[in-house]
Every structure is written in structure tokens, then in C-alpha cells.
Structure 1
């Protein structure tokens, strides 16, 4: 089927589910031709299928994007199946000769996009790709030898020194009309969980408006004390932008611009904004690493760590996933994750250290659990962060840095507010004992109505012994011992 008048162009949405600061949309709109927005649910194209929590988010984000497009006179066309096949069907139906898209930089997505572009070009259809997801296109920030950076600090310095922020691109007020086309209904894709609906505790507003609201709240609140506040899990000091950034509901440059504007307005110190920019830079570092090192999610970045003698501890792993390890800060984090689809960043490090070093369970199993349960699950960030804790990644924390779950809780949740929220069975226990209930006197436990082994589990492992076991295992990799460092 072809249309009368100017040929339309296809706008292929993927991980850029927004209208503002969207280079592919801006360029498509600038043609003056009808724009056909499309999202293709191609489950076979990804390195691994999206996790359950990510699917929940996608459902809501697509609904929000569809509403925004409808307000501007365009309909979001939803298709399910092979991306190239569905694009070809749309081209046949519309007569479009151009596809606008923002590139994916994960190796599999990058290669697939190139294959599709070459195939369509041979038939007279051009694919125009842009960077709408990262601060810089991978390959544009290289070290003095022309290779990718493997250490974060020089990477960040080079990134901020060489890459200029793009000019803001407002969302279009309208989009030229396009012909009516058949479209799936998002509710038919089964992205929202049923039987049971385990998402009832998800307190999120996916979509571009939700992203902007989260950014506004963060700049007005948590940013002013971000450097210290971001480590306290009971405080709302983090941006909570990670799932919005993952789905491209907001650009990283937009978040950075808002932080820098607060500095210029005198409401935030430059040091606090710089710390936030560095955190966005760490996300960028992870994405660039994955682009250059495709095996990052599956194999140790430092190959010697693939010889690590991991343990097969199914009971320990199940206790960890359910938040029943007997270590309150670990259990609180795992329960927060299951209930809300998100976990505070400081606690993510603690729970990862516990499963890797106290239980000696392969980091890939923990990464896979996070992949399925996090609304912000991101292939590059997930793999890089888990390898950072495991000591096997680029610029990683050394393996012999072993978090003590008791002292970590005492340091970052001194009053016990976080653990008592997510482990309510400990709510009446004085803060002095809340991070190590097994050390509390019997009369204190009785008064707090805590029966260890019944109301709350005893520790599934002795941390001191587990630390010694982990350091012994490290000798298999290094050939020598290390002095344990505890935090």
C-alpha cells in the first residue's frame, strides 16, 4: 500500500521513549513529512529477554508515550515480532523510504541495526541513526593509545573534557498526520504481571512526565546533600532516575543540565552536582565498556577470575533472594527489591558482597536475579557493577575488600530506620541490637517479641568464618593470600 502526497518516514522507538531531546524524532519532524512512530516488541533480538520488572516498566512507559503522541496528532504503532520483518511490512504499507532511529550500543543491538540498515539500503530505504541514549557515542572517548579506557577516573575526565552537551531539543507541539495502520494493543503483550500481580508495591510513574517529575524533586531535595546523603538508605537522597534513563524517558544530558542549573542558581554546591555527574558518568563508563568488551555480562573482565572456586549453595541463594539470611541490612535490601523493583545503591553493594564473598556464589547468579527483579535492569550497568564487587571487573574493588554486613548497617543505617521498614519483625528491637539481633540479650529479644529462628532467622553463615573462607578461595586466583579489608 502507498499513500498520496509526500512519503511518510518511520520513527523507530527503542530505548528512547520520550519526545524531548530525542534527536531521531527531531530530525524526522524536520523533514516536514508525515511521521509514523513505531515500537516493535522483538523478544528474539536481545542478548537476553527483558526481566519481569523491566517488562512491567515497559508496559507503562509505552502507554505514556502513546498518550503523548496522540496529543500531538500521531498514533504509536505497536508491532510484535522480528524487527526487520515488521519494518519491511510498515514500509510496504506506507511507502516510507526513510527510517529514523536512535542507536543501540550494546554489541548485539549494534550489529543487528547495521544488518538491518544494510539490507534496507539495498532496497532504497535509508536508515538514519543518532545517539539518543548516552552522553557520547562509544568510540569517541578513547585513551592516548586509541583504545577504550579501562579505569573510570581518566575516562570521566576525558569524557567531560571532550564531549559538549547538545543543545536542548523541545518536544514537538504536533506531528504531521500519517495514514491509519493496524497496531497491536500493549495490554495484549502480557507485560503486566497477573496470577499473581506481584507489582502492587511498585511506587513508580514510568514515562517522560514521570522522569521529569523525579528529576525536579531530586534537584529540589536530595541533590543539595547528595555526596553524603546518597549513602543513607532511609533518606530520599538519590535521584531514582535509573529506570527512566534505561528506557530513555530522559536523556543523561538533561539530568546533568538540571544539576548544573541548580549550581548556577546558587541552590546547590558545585561539589554535590559534580558527584551526581560522576554517577551518570559511571553509567556511561559501563555502557562504553560493554560496547568494546561484549563478553562483560558472561565472563570475568579479568580472565583469571573465571577460575574462582565458586560454591553450589542453593539453600543460601534462596535465603538471599527471599531476604532471610539473618543479616538485617542484607534482608532489608532484598525485600525492598522484591517489593518495589528497586534497591538503594549502597545496599546493592552490601547484598552483592554478601552473596559473592560470604556465600561464595558466582556473581553471575546474583546478576541474573537483579536482571529479573530490577525495574532499572541494564545489561551494561548490571554486569559492570556485579563484576566491580566481585573484583573481576574493570577498575573493580579488590576481591579482598569484604563488606561486613553488621558494621555496614551500623554505619549507614545507624538508627535502624531502613531495616525496620523492610524487616518489620525487628521494629521493636532497639537500634543497638537491630543490626545483629543474635547478639541481643534474651530479655531484650523477649521484650521486642523476636524469637530467633522463628520470627527472624539466625545468620545462615558466620561472617568471620566466611571472610576467611573467601580469602582462602582468592588464593586459587592470585596464587597468594591478601590482607582482608573490611568496611
Structure 2
């Protein structure tokens, strides 16, 4: 009997899974699935223990879903991507695998691993087939008139939408049941992988495909129409909170697009609805860039002259930022949200990143690494793109002289201090008028606050940063 193996990675779902769908086309083939844990590689990539927990819970869910289709899921473990090549070779030999199906990953290490797998299995008479699955449109399919990757987002977005209007990517159904569903006695307990895991808030981020689909359907009703007015207010539940499902492949971007357009058929033209869709296109933009410019995977700045910026090394200020003890309430509340939930509101990601780079003049790569070590929705392309945008080192990034004032940012997006008070209980007694500058209130009223003084003076820090960037740019002129 022919045996087809589906190699699951960041595609932990049975609906709209190109590799799984292709493996199940033949009714006569035996289909099995495999997930390979690589703790050493995950550590190199700074995977958050909370993301490891989310992946583990998602694996338990997808195992049950596959079992109902008559497909057994195996988990194997080796240290890193290099070792996974030999592991796959042995697994295919042991299980008599004739064909391997997998969905592409676009990061450099992952692409090198997949190329080695294809070469090795070809030599062992195993046919290998890969698929573009984690994007609406594959990398290299949205190019300028000169057949180059766009370096500015807005024209990329326009060209992207034009492609969608010409024809939507297909959303594939889950496979049919193969012969018979597996019984409870046939489902092997999954061995936990050897990597730190931390508990997650399962009310905010319930694991599993059905939970993701339910959240998507709920959001695409009324919340998506309110999104433009609510998305920048961290005290409101105004975002989709789907990023963790997209990062781990529990949900596909095609499912998001089709559900949105089913609920709002004119979503590609409706400015109100398109605001959220455009965020999905930002996700595509950063992943397309990763393929066009692999140096981004190696944490190199896109804008070459910014390599000359002389960053400050201050482990105490870095630790204060990481712990939410900078003395700037909106920054500290955001960092404590990240540390507690493994997730941070997108507006706050911009504010905290700007503070680290533009107020403290600390290398953006320190922030990029720390975010990855905490984020439930950690994704190299999106995280790198966001950090390089904030640091003015990336493509289509904020200009280097655009420096957020953390106090006015807090006043603008959390005016009453509702979000701040939730995450900074030591400031709950501070009146609304002073919530963004609590030490002014404490001084006027002779109160003692158990909250740090600002670790840097913003105006002075701004001048220091401008000077550092201008000096770097002159070195290139």
C-alpha cells in the first residue's frame, strides 16, 4: 500500500491545509502525519515558552481532528533542523513512506532544511512535494513593473488587492474520512517535547482550530466594522486577536479572507472593512520581503546606512524596559501585558519599540529578541518588520526623526488611564488628570508612589537619538 506522509510545521489545522489536502487526494493511500519538535533550534530562535505551550495544545487538538479522519499523528524530537533531516529519512524508511507532503516556510534556516530534506529523500526514492500555504499570494507573485519586490507598502497593497480582484485564492475543505476514524485505543499519547512551556490565558487564547474559526466568525460580524475606531485603544477589545492562530498555522489567511468577504462581500472596496484586511496584507508584505531579502532573517537592517548607528549598551535600562519599570506608564503597562499574556496590543508594540530605540538608543535587535522570547504569536517576519519599522532601519519604515513622545502617546490612546491602571496597580490611586505623569501628582500632594521615576528625560533623549542617526547617515554620504 502507498503511504503518504504529511509533515506538519506551522500549519496545525485540517481545514484549508494544502499539504494535507494533496496527501489525501488518493483514496487508496495510507496517510499519516508527523510533527518534529526541535528544542535546540527553538532556543536559537528565541521561541517563547508560552508559544511552545500554545503549539502543544494545538497539537493535541489537531491529533484528535486527524484521528476522526483516520489519520494518525506522530511526534518526534531532535535537537535542531540539521538533525531533523536524518530523522525524517529514518521515519520514512520505518513507515514505508512513498511520498512526503509539506507546506513551505520562508525563513532562511527553514528553507535550507527543506532543501536538504528534498535531496536526501529523493536519494531514498521518496517523492517530495511542497506548497505555498501560509500566505494569500506566494512570494514573488506581487512585483513592480521592473519585476522587483516592492520596497514601499502602499503600492504593494494596491497591486496585491488588484491580484485578489482578478481571482481569490482557493480555500480547501478538510479531507474526508479515510476508511474509518481511529478509535481511542489507536490514538497514541503524545510525548511532551523537551522545551520550557508556560501556562497561557486559555480564555483569551483558547487553543485549537474550532476556537480559531469561532473567533474569526465573531470578529467578522460587528467588530470588524468597529475596528478602524477601536484598534488603537488598548483598553478596548477592538482587535481580532487572531495573530497567534496565524503564526502557528491553526488558521490560514485564506480562511480569514473568505470569511470576511462572506460577511462583507464588498470588503475589498469598502474602506471601513478594508482597514483590517490591510493588516493581513502587511503580514504578506513582510513575508514577501523575507524571501526577496534573506539578510532580514539574519537580523540585518534593510537600510544599509543605519548599520553605522552607534547604539548604547545599558543593561540596567534594558532590564527596566523589559520589566515594565521605565517610569513611563503606557510603556510599563504594555510591557507588563506582554510579560503576563505573551501578547501585546499592536499600538503598544509601536510605542514600546520606539521607546527602546529612540528614547534609550538601545539596539532594536535587543527588543526583537525579547519580544520573540515572550510572544505567544511570535513570527520572525512580522516581528522583524515591526521592529525595523519602529527603528527606522527597515523598508518603508518610520523616518528616523519620527520619535514618539511616550507621555503624549499614552494621553492619546489611553486618555483616562484605564489600561494603565489595569496593569499598574500601584497607580490606581492617581487621578485621571495625572495618570500619565504620576510623579507630578505625587510631588504636589506629598504622596509617595511605589513606582519608578522616569529613567530618561524624553526631550534630551530625542536630541541624542537624532544626533546618533545623523552621524550615521553622514558616514555614508
CA distance in 2, matches of 1:390, 1:465: 18
In structure 2, the CA distance between the partners of 1:79 and 1:185, relative to structure 1 (3 Å rule), is: farther
CA distance in 1, matches of 2:363, 2:178: 50
Alignment of 1:258 with 2:259, yes or no, is yes
Alignment of 1:466 with 2:467, yes or no, is no
In structure 2, the CA distance between the partners of 1:42 and 1:183, relative to structure 1 (3 Å rule), is: farther
CA distance in 2, matches of 1:55, 1:313: 30
In structure 2, the CA distance between the partners of 1:182 and 1:209, relative to structure 1 (3 Å rule), is: closer
- Give the CA deviation at 1:52: 2.2
- Give the CA deviation at 1:413: 0.6
- Aligned partner of 1:50 in structure 2 is 47
- Give the CA deviation at 1:273: 1.9
Q: How does 1:178-327 map to 2 (within 5 A)?
A: 186-191=190-195, 193=197, 199=200, 203-264=204-265, 270-297=270-297, 298-327=299-328
- Aligned partner of 2:417 in structure 1 is 416
In structure 2, the CA distance between the partners of 1:335 and 1:445, relative to structure 1 (3 Å rule), is: farther
426-435 vs 218-227, greater mean Cα deviation: 218-227
Alignment of 1:168 with 2:185, yes or no, is no
- 8 Å contact from structure 2 (residues 53, 199) kept in 1: no
Q: Secondary structure at the match of 1:401?
A: coil
| Among 16, 19, 22, the residue aligned to 2:11 | 16
- 8 Å contact from structure 1 (residues 201, 339) kept in 2: no
Question: Can you list the C-alpha shifts for 1:209-243, whole angstroms capped at 9, x where unaligned?
Answer: 22112212222342111112100111111011111
Count, aligned residues: 465
- 8 Å contact from structure 2 (residues 150, 156) kept in 1: yes
Q: How does 1:444-463 map to 2 (within 5 A)?
A: 444=445, 446=447, 451-452=448-449, 455-463=450-458
- 8 Å contact from structure 1 (residues 13, 101) kept in 2: yes
- 8 Å contact from structure 1 (residues 16, 247) kept in 2: yes
Q: How does 1:354-373 map to 2 (within 5 A)?
A: 354-373=355-374
| Among 16, 36, 41, the residue aligned to 1:40 | 36
33-42 vs 290-299, greater mean Cα deviation: 290-299
- Aligned partner of 1:77 in structure 2 is 74
In structure 2, the CA distance between the partners of 1:50 and 1:30, relative to structure 1 (3 Å rule), is: same
CA distance in 2, matches of 1:330, 1:45: 31
CA distance in 2, matches of 1:172, 1:184: 21
39-48 vs 64-73, greater mean Cα deviation: 39-48
- 8 Å contact from structure 2 (residues 72, 187) kept in 1: no
In structure 2, the CA distance between the partners of 1:236 and 1:83, relative to structure 1 (3 Å rule), is: same
Q: Secondary structure at the match of 1:295?
A: helix
CA RMSD of aligned residues (A): 2.5
The two structures have a TM-score, normalised by structure 2, of 0.92
- 8 Å contact from structure 1 (residues 358, 461) kept in 2: yes
Long gaps (5+) in structure 1: 1-5, 481-487
In structure 2, the CA distance between the partners of 1:198 and 1:322, relative to structure 1 (3 Å rule), is: farther
- 8 Å contact from structure 1 (residues 7, 96) kept in 2: yes
Q: Secondary structure at the match of 1:402?
A: coil
Q: Secondary structure at the match of 2:376?
A: coil
- Give the CA deviation at 1:70: 2.0
- 8 Å contact from structure 1 (residues 390, 399) kept in 2: yes
CA distance in 1, matches of 2:424, 2:410: 13
Question: Can you list the C-alpha shifts for 1:75-103, whole angstroms capped at 9, x where unaligned?
Answer: 21111123222222222122221001111
- Aligned partner of 2:62 in structure 1 is 65
In structure 2, the CA distance between the partners of 1:399 and 1:248, relative to structure 1 (3 Å rule), is: same
- 8 Å contact from structure 2 (residues 100, 126) kept in 1: yes
CA distance in 2, matches of 1:269, 1:169: 25
- Aligned partner of 2:156 in structure 1 is 155
CA distance in 1, matches of 2:102, 2:433: 55
CA distance in 1, matches of 2:235, 2:333: 11
- Give the CA deviation at 1:460: 0.8
CA distance in 2, matches of 1:110, 1:136: 18
- Give the CA deviation at 1:173: 4.0
- Aligned partner of 1:485 in structure 2 is none
81-90 vs 354-363, greater mean Cα deviation: 81-90
